[in-house]
Amino acid sequence: MQADKVDMFIMTNSKYLPSEKLVLLKDRLLMMDDSKFALVSSVEMKDPMTLLLVSIFLGSLGVDRFMLGQVGLGIVKLITLGLCGIWTVIDWFIIQNKAKERNFVELMKVL
């Protein structure tokens, strides 16, 4: 029964997590107690596509970094207006991976 839950969790949340770390996550979830599964399911994940859209429209104000919990970088980005737009454009390409990595780290804290 637990393998079915883990497979469903992985299938449902794979777009929020780095694909290269799904196997590691699946192994850790299979070794976990059923009592902790509800705790894992309650972890709030950031949607990478939402963060990309926020980065495109409000990235020069640092809103994307604030949403990831990187307050210091968000303040620097806000003050410099995304380093005159250069940092903002760079973030368009890396913000989705940052969101997936953040989600993975949050799950690992629970496990």
Task: Say if residue 21 is exposed, middle or buried (CB neighbours under 10 Å; 0-12, 13-18, 19+).
Answer: middle
Q: What are phi and psi of 80, to 5 degrees?
A: -95, 5
- Of the two residues 2 and 103, the one the predictor is more confident about is 103
Show me where the domains of the chain are located. Answer: 2-110
- pTM of the predicted model over 0.85: yes
Q: How many Å apart are CA 28 and CA 26, to the nearest integer?
A: 5
pLDDT tens figures, 43-82: 999 999 999 999 999 999 999 999 999 999 999 999 999 9
